[in-house]
Structure 1
C-alpha cells in the first residue's frame, strides 16, 4: 500500500518541517508500506505554491522522515518533479518553463520555451535531487510525470509542439531524466514513476492507446509504475471527488500492467475501501494500491484492517485535503481533523467520569466517541429518531453518498465503545457537551403573498415541492446549493441558482469547475453576482450585485440553502460544539466535538468553537 505524494502546506519555507515528519510517521505507524513524500521541485525555477518543497532544501527533512518511518518497516521515497507551464510565477517572478509557448489553460500565462541550457539544468536538477535523496538514506525516489508535471508536458502533443529532437521524440527528456536519476541512486534503491496515461484530451493529448506505447518503452527503466490520469485541461481527473466512482482507474491500470513487462504497477484513483484494494490485487489489476486520501482520513487504516476494526471512511469530498489554495491551509480531513505534532488526537484519561452529551450530529457523536475511547461513561441524548444530524441529509446530495458511511461509522463506534444512546429524548438542563444542531435562519429577503420558501434540509428530507420553476438561493457558496440544484434538475425540474458570487459554488475548491459543468449540462440557470430581494407571486426579484439593477426570474418555490443559526438556548451550560456555536462545516463540527471532549476531561468550560486550534508557522 502506498501513501502517495500530495500538497500539505506543512513546510517551513521550502523545506520539510517537523510537521511533515509527524504526518508521515503516523501513516507508517499505522501500517502503510510505502510513503512518498510531497513532491519537491528539482530546480529553483519551479515554485508552484508558496510552501512547495525544494529538493535542494529537503535533505535534513528527508533524513528525519526516514528515521521516523523506518522503525515501522515503511519504505520512504522522495517525490521529485517540476510543474513547468502549470506552475506559478507569483513567487519566483520569473517566466515559467515549458516545452513550447502554449498558454496554460487555467492561468492563460504564456511560458518560455526551454532551450538546451534549461533542459540540461532540469536533468541536472533531477540528478542532484536523487543524489541528495540517497545521501539522506531514502529507499528511493518517485519521478513525477503526472497530471501537473513538466515531464508530462513534454510527452504530450497538447503542450509540446517542438520540431527538434524533443518534439519528434516526446519521451526523450523523460528517458534522460530517468537515466540520470538511476545513475545517482545506485543499486538497492527504488526508482518509481508516476505517469499520466490519459489526459482526457483525445484530440491531441496522451490517450490510453498512446500510453500503452509509453508504458512499454518506460516500464523497463523503472522499478514501480503508478498509473494516473489528468492534465492541464482535466486537473480534476487526477483526484476527483465523490461524483466519480471509487477505483475509476482500475480498467486502465489492468490494461497497462499487461504491457509493463513485469514491472510492478500501482493502482491510483479514489481507492478508499480496503476490500476494493484487496480485490484489485487478487484480480491482477495491480501489484500495489495507492490509498492516499483513505490514509488521510484514517492514519491507522492498515493496522485497523488487520485487526478487524472498522476504518474511519474517506468521504471523497476534497474539502480539506486539497490545499493548493491562496489561503495556504494545512492539509486536513473533514472526518479526522488533524493537529499534526500537537494534542489533536489525545484526550486526558476519562476513567470514572460520567458525561452527558446533548445532540447526535457529527459534533455530538465525535465528542461521545472520543470520551468513551478515553474511558468515560457516556450518555448521548438526541431529540430526533436517528443519529447523524445534517450528515444524513448531506449524504442525499449527488456525490456525497459517502457521508452516510461516516455517520454510520460514528454511530457504530459509539455502540462499540459502550455509549448509551437515547433517541427521541429532549435534553435535560445542563449537559457536559452541548451539540444539539441548529435552526433555520429567518429569511433575509422579503416573502410576499403567494411566496413559497423551503429549506435545503426540507428538500433533502423528501419534502414535496409545488410544480413550476425552482430557485435555489445559495449565499454560502459551498456544496449544498449546487448539490440541491443538481438533484432537482436530475428529477426533471426547471432550476435556477442565485448566488452573490461570480461563479456557482465559489468555495467548492477542486469541484468548482466540474460542478459548474454538471449544472450547465443539466440545464440549470445560473444567476451569478446577484442578490435576492423578494419572492412571491410566481417570481423572485434579484438585483445585480455591482449595479443594483433589478430583474425578476420565474419562481414557484424558493429553496433557501443559506447557513442556519445555533439552536435557541443551546449555550445553556457545559461545552458547546458544532452548530450550537455557529453554522459549521462537517470538519469544524467534528473538530469541535473532539475539542469539547478534551475540554470536559481536562475540566475546561470554554466553548469548543472558542478553543485554540493548531498553531501555524511561517
Structure 2
C-alpha cells in the first residue's frame, strides 16, 4: 500500500509517502539552488510520492534565518519526475528574527516571543492585506514555475498559527473575534490563485498549552470550511512554548502524532500522518487506518531510497533513522542538512553516489581492523565498489562505541545502525571475524585501521578512596551505597545520559559541568530544556560553572570556574565523560574514525567513504 499511487487533489502521486518541508540551508542566498534540486531529486528517484520544498517567505517582512528562501522555484521545477513537487509557503511572524531586515517583527498581538523575547509590531489591515496578497502571489508563481501546487504553513514558526491561538492573539477586532478568519482568507486567496493545483495545509492542532492554546476540540469545527479549499491536511503539534515538540528527538516514540491526527479522519479531508514515522510497517498500518499519505521526512533524509526498498520487498535494507536530531539545519551556525549515518544527504552535488548493487569483485583485497561505525562503513563501501573485504574486531560483537551509546537511556535507536551494518556486510559477502586481536603481523596488503579509542587520563588528581571510570566502562560500576559524580567537561548528550542512567538505578548522582546549563550542546538537537527537566525529575544534582579538581577520601573537590571557590561533594565513584583519545597500538596504515580523532558517527562514516575512494 505504501508504494502505490494515490490521488492528491487533481494530481496523482506515485506513492503515499510525503517528504515534508524543513530547513536545509542549501540555498544560494535566499534562492533555491542546484543543491536543492539534487536533494529533492534523490528522494523522487527513491520513490517518494509528494515532496514539499523548504518553506518560502511570502512577504519581505519575514526572514526567519539567513538562507530562508523567497518565492522562485525555477531551480527545482521539473526535477522530481513523477513525484508531486509542492511549494511550502509561510511567514514566521513573531517567531522570526529582525537581525537581517532591521525591521520590527510582525505579530497578531503585542506579545513577546518566548524565545527571542522580542515584542512584535501588531499588524493592522494594510499589513494583513499585504500578507494575504503575498500568499496568493507566491502560490501563483509556484504553479507558473511548474510545481504541482503548494502547502501552507499554519504550524510551527507560523504567523497563521499565531493568529489562530489564544496564546498569541488577544485582538478585539474581527481577527480576534474569529481567530480562523485570516487563515480562511489566505486559503481562499490561494485557491483562487492556483485553480485546480494541489493545496495542502500544515495546521497546528495542539499547542500543548490547553489553558489558552490551540486544541483539537477547537479546530475540529473548522474542517467543514476547509473541504473546498484544501486537498490535504497535515495535523501537527507544538507552539513557541514547545518548539521541540514538532520534530522531537529520539526520547519521543516514533509515530507520536498518530492519535492526534486520527481525530481528523473521516471528516471529508485527506489527512497526512506526521510525527517521527520512520518505520515502513508503521506507515503501512497508518494507510490501512485511513491516512491518505504518511510523512517520512527524517526517514528519507537517512535513506532516500526508502520507498524503492519497500517496493522491492527489502525493507531490511533501509538505513535506520536515529531520530537524534544531531544535524538539524535550523541553527545559528547555518549547517547544511544531512544525516548522522548518511553524509551524502544534503551533499548530493559534491559526493558521488554509491552503487545500489555491488560491483563485480575486481579490486584488491582490503583488511579493515575494527568494527565500529568507521570500520563497518568502510567494509560496506569497499564491498559495494567490488573489493573483497575482511574485517577483524577484537570484541565479541560489532558496534564499538556506538553499541555503548545505544545502551544509554533512550538512545537504543543507535543500535539499529549496528544491526543494519551487520546485515549489509553479510549480504555483501564481507568476511567478519570477531574476537580477533590484530597484531602487526596481520597488517599485510591494503589495510584500514578503525581501532577506535581509549579513555583519556583524568584531568584531575586521583587519590585513594574514590573509584574513577570512563563513561564507556561505567555501566555496572555502581550499586547500592554508592554516591556518583558525573564529570561532564564536554556538555553533549553523554554526561546527561550517564547521569540519567545512574539515577534510574536508584543511586544518588551529581552532574558537574563548567557550563551555565547541563548538556549545553543539546540546544542543537532541541533536547536542552527537556534534558534538564528529566535530570530534575530524576533527582540529579546539577553543579554548574564547575569542574572537578581532585577526588579521594570519599569526596570530589569541585572548583567554580569563575571565582575559584571550592566545594566538596560526597563521592565513591566519579564517571569521567571527557573526550576519548585515539587507540594508537597499531601503526603504519591509514586511520579512520576514533583512532584518527574523536569522531561522531557522521564523521566516522565520511572518513570511511573517503578512505576507500568514494
Give the TM-score, by structure 1 length: 0.92
* CA distances 1:261-285 after superposition (whole Å, capped 9, x unpaired): 2x2100000000001100111122x
- Residues 1:407 and 2:415 are matched in the alignment: no
Q: Which residue matches 1:293?
A: 298
CA distance in 2, matches of 1:563, 1:220: 57
* CA drift at 1:134: 1.1
CA distance in 1, matches of 2:477, 2:420: 27
Q: Which residue matches 2:172?
A: 163
CA distance in 2, matches of 1:93, 1:556: 55
Q: What is the aligned counterpart of 2:502 among 488, 505, 517?
A: 488
Q: Which residue matches 1:305?
A: 310
5 Å matches for 1:23-422? 23-55=39-71, 58-61=72-75, 65-70=76-81, 73-187=82-196, 189-258=197-266, 260-261=267-268, 263-284=269-290, 286-309=291-314, 310-320=317-327, 322-338=328-344, 339-346=347-354, 351-422=362-433
Paired residue secondary structure (2:511): strand
* CA drift at 1:568: 2.1
Paired residue secondary structure (2:211): coil
CA distance in 1, matches of 2:385, 2:192: 51
Q: Which residue matches 1:500?
A: 514
Paired residue secondary structure (1:453): strand
CA distance in 1, matches of 2:24, 2:481: 47
5 Å matches for 1:461-540? 462-465=476-479, 467-508=481-522, 509=524, 510-540=526-556
Any unmatched runs of 5+ in structure 2? 1-16
Paired residue secondary structure (1:233): helix
Q: RMSD value over aligned CA atoms?
A: 1.5
Paired residue secondary structure (1:540): strand
Contact 2:467 2:573 in 1 (8 A): yes
* CA distances 1:435-490 after superposition (whole Å, capped 9, x unpaired): 11100100011112212111111124x33446232111111111111111112212
Paired residue secondary structure (2:605): helix
Q: Which residue matches 2:11?
A: none
CA distance in 2, matches of 1:231, 1:24: 28
* CA distances 1:343-364 after superposition (whole Å, capped 9, x unpaired): 2534897623210001000000
Paired residue secondary structure (1:459): coil
Contact 1:543 1:549 in 2 (8 A): yes
- Residues 1:423 and 2:434 are matched in the alignment: yes
* CA drift at 1:219: 4.2
- Residues 1:22 and 2:30 are matched in the alignment: no
Q: Which residue matches 1:606?
A: none
Deviates more, 1:271-280 or 1:513-522: 513-522
Q: Which residue matches 2:463?
A: 448
Contact 1:89 1:95 in 2 (8 A): yes
Contact 2:478 2:573 in 1 (8 A): no
Any unmatched runs of 5+ in structure 1? 600-618
Q: Which residue matches 1:457?
A: 472
CA distance in 1, matches of 2:77, 2:48: 13
* CA drift at 1:208: 2.1
* CA drift at 1:552: 1.8
* CA drift at 1:335: 1.3
Paired residue secondary structure (2:472): helix
Contact 2:479 2:507 in 1 (8 A): no
Contact 1:198 1:211 in 2 (8 A): no
CA distance in 2, matches of 1:255, 1:499: 44
- Residues 1:588 and 2:595 are matched in the alignment: no
Q: Which residue matches 2:575?
A: 559
CA distance in 2, matches of 1:506, 1:255: 37
* CA distances 1:134-183 after superposition (whole Å, capped 9, x unpaired): 11010000000002111000000000000000001001000011011111
Give the TM-score, by structure 2 length: 0.93
Change (3 A) 1:558 1:466: farther
Contact 1:469 1:494 in 2 (8 A): yes
Q: Which residue matches 2:560?
A: 544
* CA drift at 1:551: 1.6
